[in-house]
Structure 1
Amino acid sequence: MTFTSWQFGLFAAIVFVTYYLPPVRRFQVLLLVVASLFFYGYGQPELLPLLAVAVGGTYLFLVLSLHDRRWLPAGIVFNLALLAFFKYKFLFLDPKAPALVDNAAIDFLLRLPLPIGISFFVFHNISLLVDLTRSKALRPPLADVFLYIIFFPQLVSGPITRAGMFMPQIVPKQLADVPFVEATKWIIAGFFFKLYVANNLNEMTAYMDFPLYETLQTQDRWLLVFLYGYQIYADFFGYSAIAIGLGLLFGYRLPINFDLPYTSLSFSEFWTRWHISLSTWLRTYLYIPLGGNRHGRIRTYLNLMIVMGLGGLWHGAGFSYLAWGVLHGLFLVIERPFLHVLQAIDSVPLRLLRMGVVFFCVTMAWIFFKLPNFEHALAYLTGMFTPTTNPNPPKLFYNLALLYALPVLLQHMRITSLFETALTRWEPYAYGALVALAYLEAGPESAFIYFQF
C-alpha cells in the first residue's frame, strides 16, 4: 500500500476520522500503533513478527540501558545485527543455491525477503536507545516506543526523526490544533512531484537500466543522467512532503528532509540540504563519536570517508552503493582545504561556477546509485564518452523531458519565493493547478525509489 494508491487514501481517511473522535482521545497512540502495523503488514504480513521482535528487543535494551548504560552498546549491536542479517547476508551467501545452510529453520529465515524500510526503523531504534539513555529519561510506555518507531507516515522511507524530537510530541491531540492549510500544501506538493515529475521521468530513465542503456546514443546517456538527478529528487522530496503533511494531520511535526540541494555551493552544503534527516543522523551518531574534526586533518578526512562509505552501504549491499558513498567522501575531502578561501571570495560568477561543479559531480555520482551493479555503472559511464549511432529510444522525448524536469528547476531557482507576496492571492489556484496536473498528467505508476532501502 503506497501513498499514491486509493487504498492508502481510504486507509488514511478512516484513521484520521477515528483518531479525533472524543471517545478515542485516550487511545490515540494505540490507534496509530495498530494503524501503522496494518499499514506495514498490508504489504508484508509475514514480516510483522520481525517488526515486533525489532521493537520489543529495542525496548528491552532501552529498559536495561536506563538502569545501566553498559547495556547501550548491546542494544546498538542488536539492531545492526538485524540490519546486517537481512540486508547484507547475500554478500556471503549465494541466493540461487538450493540450500543456503544445512539447517532448514535457519535456511527459512535466511530466505525471508528484505523488510520494507528496515534501514529506516533500525536507525530510529538506535536513536531511541542513544537519546533516551544519554538524557537519563524515564522509561517511556511501550506504546509510545512503538509509535515513534513505526509511525506509518515515516515508517517506510523516513524522514528519520530523532527520538528526542518525536517523543515529547506524544501527547493528546485536538482537531482544532491541526494546521490544515500547511498540511494540505505539503501533501499536494508531494503528490505533484511524485506523480507528475518523478513518475514521468521514470519512464525515460528506465533506459538507464541494463541492457536498455546499450541502445542509447551518447547524448541520450548524458541527458538521462541529469533527468535521473531530477527524478530522484522529485521522488524522495515527494515522499518526504507527503509524510510531513500526514504527520501534521495527526499532530506530529516531522523534520524537513530537503532544502533545495541542487543550489549548494559546496559538497558539505549539499549534505546539509539533501536527505537532511540521514545526514544529521550520520553526523550525530557516527561522525561525532568517531571524533569528527577534533583530532587533526588526517583523522578528519578518514572520518569523512568512513561515514560516507558506510552511508553508501546503508543504501544497499553492493559495491556500486559503496562507490557512490566513497565518491561523496572524496568530494568532501578534496574541497575541505579550499572551503574557507572560496567562501571568502563572494562574487556571482564564482558562486555560479561552484554551484555548477557541485551539481555536475553530484549528478554524475547518481550513475552508481541508479545502477547497483558496479560493472553496469562503469559500462554506462564509459558509454557517455563513446560515440554511437543507435536510434533514439521511443519513450525518450527531449521536449517532454524538459517539461517534466521544469518544476524542479523552478523550485530551485526560488521563483515562487521571489514573487511570494504577489502570488499570495493566487496561491489556491496554483495548488489547484498542481492537483490537476498530478491527476491528469501523472506518469505510469512506479514505486518510490527509497522503498528498496
Structure 2
Amino acid sequence: MTFASWQFAVFAAIVFGVYYLPPVRPFQVQLLVAASLFFYGYGQPELLPLLGIAVGGTYLFLVLALRDRRWLPVGIIFNLALLAFFKYKFLFFDPQAPALVDIAAIDFLLKLPLPIGISFFVFHNISLLVDLTRDKKAPLPSPTDVFLYIIFFPQLVAGPITRAGLFLPQIEPKRFSDVQLVEAAKWILIGFFFKLYVANNLNEMTSHMDFPFYETLQTQDRWLLVILYGYQIYADFFGYSAIAIGLGLLFGYRLPINFDLPYISASFSEFWTRWHISLSTWLRTYLYIPLGGNRCGKFRTYLNLIIVMGLGGLWHGVGPSYLIWGVMHGLLLAVERPFLKKFEGIKSAGFRALRIAAVFFCVTMLWIFFKLPNFDHALAYLAGMFRPSTNPNPTKLYYDLALLYSLPVILQHLHLNSFFERRLAAWEPYVYGALAALAYLEAGPATAFIYFQF
C-alpha cells in the first residue's frame, strides 16, 4: 500500500474519521499502532512477525539498558544484525538457488524479501536505545508508546527519521480542534504534486539511463538525463517527506523537515544540512561524533567524514557504486573543509553562484552511481558523456517536456514560491487548486517511491 494508491486513501480516511471520535480518545495510541501494523502488513503479512521481533526486542533491551548500560551495545548489535541479515545476506548466498541451506526454517528466513523500511525502523530503534539510556531522567515509555514511535505509519517506510526525544513527548490525547488542517493539506498536496507530476513524469525519461537503454542515447542527452535524475530523486523523496509531514499533522504529530532546498547549497557540508536532513543528523549524532568527530585532529576528522559517508553509501545498498557514491561525498567534505572559512569570508554574489554551480555539478554527477548500482554500467554511462555518440538512430527526448516537468523544482529552489506567497496570497487557493489538477490530470505512470528500496 503506497501513499499514491486509492487503497491508502480509503485507509487514511477511515483511520482519521475514527481517530477523533470522543469514545476513541483514550485509545488513540492503540488505534494508530493497529493502523500502522495493518499498513505495514498490507501485501506482506509474513513480515509482521519480524517487525514485532524488532520492536519488542528493542523494548526489552531498553528496559535492560536503563538498569545496566552494558546492555546498550547488545541492543544496538541486535538491530544492526537484523539490518545486515536482510540487506546483505545475498553477499553470501545465491538468491537463485532452489535451497540456500539444508535447514528448512533458516532457508525460509533467507528467502524472505527485504522488509520495506527496515533501515528506517532500525534507525528509530537505535535512536530510542541511545537517547533514553543517555538521559537518566527520562521515564521508561510504555510498550505501546514505543511501538507508535517506531512504526507510526506516515514515517514507517521512508522516514523522516525522528528522534525519540522529539516524538515521545508528543504522545498525548489529541483533539480535532487542535489539528492544523490547512498546513497539513498544503504539505500533502505539495507532496503529491512533486511525486505524481514531477517525479513520475521525469521517471519516464530517466528510465533511459538504465542498461542497455543508455547505449542508444546521444552524448548531450546523457548529460540532460543526469540533471533530470537529480531533479527526479529530489521531487520523489521530497514528495514522500511532505506527505508524511502532512499526515503526521492530521493525527497531531509534527515530524521533522527533511529537505531545505538542497540544490542551492554553496558547499558540500551545507548540502548535507539540506538533503535528507534526518538521515544526515542521525549519522552525525550516532556515528560521526562517537567516532571522534572533529575532536581528534585534522587527519582523524577527514577520515571520520569519509568513513561515515562511505557507510552511509553502503546503507543504501550493497555494491561498489553505492560505496563510491558515499566515499566521494566524504572526500568532497574533507577536501573543502580547510577552505570553508575563507570562502565564507568572500561576500560576493557571483562567487557564491559559482560555488553553488560547482556543488550542483558534483552532486549531480555522483547521482550516476546512485541510479546505476552496477558499477560497470555506471562507468559505461559516465564514459559515454565524454565521447561523441555513433548511434545512427538515437533515442529521441522531448526537451520541452523535460523543462516542463523540471520547472517546479527549479522555481522552488529560486525561492519564487516565497515571492508568490508574499505577493499573490489572495490567489493561493487557485494555485493549490492548479497543483491538485496537474497532479491528477498530468500524473506520470505510477512508480514506487525511490527510497522504498532502502
Aligned to 2:370: 369
Aligned to 1:38: 38
Shift of 1:213: 0.8
Give the distance between the partners of 1:443 and 1:420, measured in 2 at CA. Answer: 27
Aligned to 2:173: 172
Shift of 1:419: 3.9
Give the distance between the partners of 2:394 and 2:152, measured in 1 at CA. Answer: 45
1:236-260 alpha-carbon deviations (Å, 9 max, x no partner): 0000000000000000000000000
Shift of 1:98: 2.9
Amino acid at match of 1:282: L
Map 1:220-369 to 2 at 5 A: 220-369=221-370
Give the distance between the partners of 1:149 and 1:50, measured in 2 at CA. Answer: 13
Give identity over the alignment, percent: 80
Amino acid at match of 2:324: A
Amino acid at match of 2:315: W
Say whether 1:187 aligns with 2:176. no
Amino acid at match of 2:84: A
Aligned to 2:441: 440
Give the distance between the partners of 1:23 and 1:410, measured in 2 at CA. Answer: 46
Give the distance between the partners of 2:421 and 2:113, measured in 1 at CA. Answer: 47
Give the distance between the partners of 1:419 and 1:450, measured in 2 at CA. Answer: 31
Aligned to 1:402: 403
Give the distance between the partners of 2:402 and 2:420, measured in 1 at CA. Answer: 26
Give the distance between the partners of 1:161 and 1:55, measured in 2 at CA. Answer: 15
Say whether 1:200 aligns with 2:201. yes
Amino acid at match of 2:10: L
SS of residue paired to 2:122: helix
Amino acid at match of 1:393: T
Bigger mean CA offset, 137-146 vs 384-393: 384-393
Aligned to 2:153: 152
TM-score, structure 1 as length reference: 0.99
1:13-56 alpha-carbon deviations (Å, 9 max, x no partner): 00000000000000000000000000000021110000000000
Shift of 1:341: 0.8
Q: Is the 8 A contact 2:161 2:279 kept in 1?
A: yes
1:189-247 alpha-carbon deviations (Å, 9 max, x no partner): 00000000000000000001111111111111111000000000000000000000000
SS of residue paired to 1:43: coil
SS of residue paired to 1:272: coil
Amino acid at match of 1:108: F
Give the distance between the partners of 1:104 and 1:10, measured in 2 at CA. Answer: 39
Amino acid at match of 1:341: K
Amino acid at match of 1:279: S
Say whether 1:90 aligns with 2:90. yes
Bigger mean CA offset, 10-19 vs 318-327: 318-327
Bigger mean CA offset, 97-106 vs 144-153: 97-106
Unaligned runs of 5+ in 2: none
Give the distance between the partners of 1:28 and 1:393, measured in 2 at CA. Answer: 54
**What's the Cα RMSD here?**
0.8
Give the distance between the partners of 1:117 and 1:320, measured in 2 at CA. Answer: 21
SS of residue paired to 2:141: coil
Give the distance between the partners of 1:397 and 1:444, measured in 2 at CA. Answer: 17
Give the distance between the partners of 1:18 and 1:430, measured in 2 at CA. Answer: 31
Say whether 1:393 aligns with 2:395. yes
Give the distance between the partners of 2:365 and 2:234, measured in 1 at CA. Answer: 14
Amino acid at match of 2:404: L
Shift of 1:333: 0.7
Give the distance between the partners of 1:228 and 1:192, measured in 2 at CA. Answer: 17
SS of residue paired to 2:98: coil
Give the distance between the partners of 2:308 and 2:290, measured in 1 at CA. Answer: 11
1:347-371 alpha-carbon deviations (Å, 9 max, x no partner): 0111000000000000000000001
Aligned to 2:110: 110
Shift of 1:93: 1.9
Aligned to 1:58: 58
Amino acid at match of 1:134: R
1:110-162 alpha-carbon deviations (Å, 9 max, x no partner): 11100000000000000000111111222211110000000000000000001
Map 1:121-160 to 2 at 5 A: 121-136=121-136, 137-160=138-161
Say whether 1:71 aligns with 2:71. yes
1:342-397 alpha-carbon deviations (Å, 9 max, x no partner): 11111011100000000000000000000111111111111111211333425x21
SS of residue paired to 1:309: helix
TM-score, structure 2 as length reference: 0.98
SS of residue paired to 1:290: coil
1:49-82 alpha-carbon deviations (Å, 9 max, x no partner): 0000000000000000111111000000000000
SS of residue paired to 2:424: helix
Give the distance between the partners of 1:346 and 1:330, measured in 2 at CA. Answer: 26
Give the distance between the partners of 2:87 and 2:318, measured in 1 at CA. Answer: 6
Q: Is the 8 A contact 2:20 2:176 kept in 1?
A: yes
Give the distance between the partners of 2:433 and 2:207, measured in 1 at CA. Answer: 30
Give the distance between the partners of 1:159 and 1:340, measured in 2 at CA. Answer: 31
Give the distance between the partners of 1:29 and 1:121, measured in 2 at CA. Answer: 18
Q: How many residues align structurally?
A: 452
Give the distance between the partners of 2:419 and 2:446, measured in 1 at CA. Answer: 33
Q: Is the 8 A contact 2:69 2:133 kept in 1?
A: yes
Amino acid at match of 2:104: A
Q: Is the 8 A contact 2:421 2:428 kept in 1?
A: no
Give the distance between the partners of 1:130 and 1:373, measured in 2 at CA. Answer: 35
SS of residue paired to 2:387: coil
Give the distance between the partners of 1:99 and 1:185, measured in 2 at CA. Answer: 50
